[in-house]
Amino acid sequence: MAQAGGSAGRRLDQLAAPLLIVLILAMMILPLPRFMLDLLFTFNIASSMLVLLVALSVLRPLEFSLFPTVLLLTTLLRLSLNVASARVVLLQGHTGPDAAGKVIEAFGQFLVGGNYAVGIVVFVILVVINFVVITKGAGRIAEVAARFTLDAMPGKQMAIDADLNAGLIAEPEARRRRTEVAQEAEFYGAMDGASKFVRGDAVAGIVILLINLVGGLLVGVFQHGLDLAQAAQNYTLLTIGDGLVAQIPSLVISVAAGILVTRVSAEQDLNAQLAAQLGSRPQALYITGAIVGVVGLIPQMPHLAFLAVGGAAAGAAYWLERQRREPAPQVEPVAEAPKPEAADVSWGDVATVDILGLEVGYRLIPLVDRAQDGELLRRIRGIRKKFAQDMGFLVPAVHIRDNLELRPNAYRLLLKGVEVGAGEVNPGMFMAINPGRVLGQLSGAATIDPAFGLPAVWIDAGQRENAQALTYTVVDASTVVATHLSSLIQRHCADLLGREETQGLLDHAAKDMPKLVEDVSPKVLPLAVVQKVMQNLLADGMHLRDTRTLLETLAEHGARTQDAEELTTVVRVALSRAILHQISAGAGELEVFSLEPGIEQMLLQASQGRPGDGPGLEPGLAERLLGHAGRLAQTREQLGQPALLLVPAPLRGLLARFLRRSAPQLKVLSQAEIPDDRVVRVVALLGGAEARA
């Protein structure tokens, strides 16, 4: 029974709005008795006052987001009542001033003193106030607000996304803010259109007034045999009363619309704001009272009225000053309740470290402050998006916080709570980076680019064009930090691929390849092995975008072995064309380094007995080998060519780890990774006479 009652209640709620519209439209067609007209006119006045009071009490315009619809319904109700009352006036107007009900009679007799000339003037004044002043101004404000809101919408959405990506807000809060931004744009757009309803209502009121006047005179004289003066008296008063009883609620609704669109979101309603802001300047009230009092002393002026108002203003100012000077009431101290026993330590007291963190000094806070439109927030979001597109997985959000222990212009970058990079920038200035060949020198504070270690100079905005003409690379402070962060993410991307990120990558791939993902993990390989293979690829500078080939290779060889290093080797062979394309695009000759035969044989013998360890070289030879590799890689880099070392397959992983720190730009390739259609030419031997010297 309760469920049936609830279903019936929901059906009534769904039918309420359609029934209301149908009833309003029915009033235009069906004749209404006088008592019903009185009741509906009274309801129209009450509803307009209710709308005005709600508009006065809201803190933000969006709290009354239904106002455009309410405006349409109240306008439609007034027009329907005008049609219904016009029918009664024309049919029964010859019987006397109460022909259309007591409400219309009261507005025609009492408010304008029974003088139809005065009534016409009052009606025209109300229409002019409503149409020209209030409605036109409110419509213009709504139009401008709608335009500005739509223009600002992309920036607000980006700020929300930046907060979400930076970890400052959660997904539900971001969704709520996005919905609020969209509703704000829709509200002001609807208010811009809704103001046209009130304007049309004013025009319709004038037209209905003229029709009732002319039609009433014709009906009274030619159908009911009234003389012209009597017909004019009866029908004009009824028409004026009908017009006033419709225009006054219309004026109230227009005032509510104007108040709503001119409100600025605040923590107080309109009454509290007026009392706080207008009453916060007693000096202004003193001056106002003095001016009004002086005007009241001028001969021929109404002295009593001016002096009374001036005295009231001065008295209000004196009362406000006394209220400010009075000390706050002393509150009797209350005996403190016994403090509850401290709760025991729980897991909630354990603070976890952020995967990626950015700490800034206090002068850099505007760069990351959403309220100040921090440029760095948008750049960090762009970095994460670009990295995801290039490398094939999403890095964790960068958690940003200020650190008063840092120097004012300093920042530091953290990976799992450990500092991996730091620097200092000057907000409002530009860093001119020397890429190696510049046409002149710049005056400014010398510094080092934190991302790439290049010499640079801090310059002001006026030197920017000159620095660019001298072939310097000129970037602002937020770009310096963002570039440093981007380079560190690229360098440590293997450490950023955790279990959660690996599972997220597999879940994303499962949308297109569900059976393949299922065959790999957890059916064939544990998630930890898949993660380790992907980390090895990232450490070698490979991306994970070709997920299909990677997973197919793991599915094929995973049943044979679960060794991550061996699986990495077969995956690299499967991805060989992508590796070569990433390193050296095109199908031309491939210029590589090769190991000196003696060194190669020594390493092959050492690797058989020490799998997974270092290369097993004498320390002095290992140091010279590292230096030689660095010099060879630097030479190729200066020529604008990739530095490639071609080695036997068993040595590739071993040498890649050995050479990674001294020559990170040197890419180590296995002979099995070279396709048959690529021509290879050895341009230098690693470990030759120069390395042995």
pLDDT number for residue 430? 92
HSE value, Cβ hemisphere, 13 Å, CA-based, for 661: 4
Would you place residue 617 in the very low, low, confident or very high pLDDT band (cuts 50, 70, 90)? low
Lowest mean pLDDT, pick from 531-540, 581-590, 620-629: 581-590
Span 478-499, average pLDDT? 90
The model's pTM is 0.51
What is the rounded CA–CA span in Å between residue 385 and residue 257?
43
Q: Is the pLDDT of residue 103 over 60?
A: yes
Q: Residues 525, 554: contact at Cβ < 8 Å?
A: yes
pLDDT number for residue 325? 64
Q: What pLDDT digit, counting tens, does each position of 35-90 carry?
A: 777 788 788 888 888 888 887 777 777 777 777 788 778 877 877 877 777 777 77
136-165 helix and 228-262 helix, angle to the nearest 10 degrees: 20
Q: Which CATH architecture has domain 497-574?
A: Orthogonal Bundle (1.10)
In degrees and rounded to multiples of 5, residue 268 shows phi and psi of: -130, 155
Q: Is the pLDDT of residue 171 over 80?
A: no
Within 10 Å of residue 413's Cβ, how many Cβ atoms?
A: 23
640, two tokens: 């604008």
Would you place residue 10 in the very low, low, confident or very high pLDDT band (cuts 50, 70, 90)? low
Burial class of residue 505 in the structure, from the number of CB atoms within 10 Å of its CB (0-12 exposed, 13-18 middle, 19+ buried): buried
353, two tokens: 């470290």
Would you place residue 337 in the very low, low, confident or very high pLDDT band (cuts 50, 70, 90)? low
The percentage of residues in the chain with a pLDDT greater than 70, rounded to a whole number, is: 77
206, two tokens: 């004038």
Residues β-bridged to residue 398: 356
pLDDT number for residue 684? 86
Diameter of the chain measured on Cα atoms: 132
Give the residue among 55, 10, 68, 379 at the shortest CA–CA distance from 198: 68
What is the rounded CA–CA span in Å between residue 271 and residue 260?
13
Q: What pLDDT digit, counting tens, does each position of 253-303 carry?
A: 777 777 777 765 555 555 565 565 655 667 777 787 788 778 777 777 776
Would you place residue 422 in the very low, low, confident or very high pLDDT band (cuts 50, 70, 90)? very high
pLDDT number for residue 1? 45
Within 10 Å of residue 665's Cβ, how many Cβ atoms?
A: 12
Q: Is the pLDDT of residue 115 over 70?
A: no
Q: Is the pLDDT of residue 515 over 60?
A: yes
Q: In the chain, where are the structural domains located?
A: 12-271, 279-321, 356-494, 497-574, 575-693
- Distance of alpha carbon 243 from the chain centroid: 47
- Distance of alpha carbon 314 from the chain centroid: 48
pLDDT number for residue 116? 64
Would you place residue 245 in the very low, low, confident or very high pLDDT band (cuts 50, 70, 90)? confident
What is the rounded CA–CA span in Å between residue 222 and residue 218?
6
What is the rounded CA–CA span in Å between residue 319 and residue 315?
6
Span 132-151, average pLDDT? 69
pLDDT number for residue 341? 56
Span 617-627, average pLDDT? 78
Give the residue among 668, 482, 684 at the shortest CA–CA distance from 593: 684
pLDDT number for residue 2? 47
In degrees and rounded to multiples of 5, residue 475 shows phi and psi of: -135, 155
Q: Is the pLDDT of residue 586 over 70?
A: no
Within 10 Å of residue 214's Cβ, how many Cβ atoms?
A: 12
Task: Using alpha carbons, list the distances in angstroms from residue 648 to 439, 504, 601.
Answer: 46, 35, 10
Give the residue among 402, 393, 403, 399 at the shortest CA–CA distance from 416: 399
Q: Is the pLDDT of residue 453 over 80?
A: yes
pLDDT number for residue 59? 75
- CATH 3.40.718.10 matches 356-494: no
Span 102-130, average pLDDT? 69
For the chain, report the end-to-end CA distance as a whole number of angstroms. 98
The percentage of residues in the chain with a pLDDT greater than 90, rounded to a whole number, is: 7
Which string of b and e fits 421-456 if b means at least 16 CB within 10 Å? bebbbbbebbbbbbeeebeeebebeebebbbeeeeb
Within 10 Å of residue 528's Cβ, how many Cβ atoms?
A: 13
Q: Is the pLDDT of residue 458 over 90?
A: yes
DSSP label at 544?
-
The kind and range of the H/E element at 686 are: strand 680-686
Would you place residue 165 in the very low, low, confident or very high pLDDT band (cuts 50, 70, 90)? low
Residues β-bridged to residue 535: none
What is the rounded CA–CA span in Å between residue 467 and residue 459?
9
Q: Which fold has domain 575-693?
A: Rossmann fold (3.40.50)
444, two tokens: 């400014």
Residues β-bridged to residue 415: 356, 418
Contacts of residues 660-666 at CB distance under 8 Å and 24 or more positions apart, as own/partner, are 660/539, 662/626, 662/627, 662/629, 662/630, 663/626, 663/629, 663/630, 663/632, 663/633, 664/491, 665/633, 665/637, 666/593, 666/629, 666/630, 666/632, 666/633
Would you place residue 447 in the very low, low, confident or very high pLDDT band (cuts 50, 70, 90)? very high
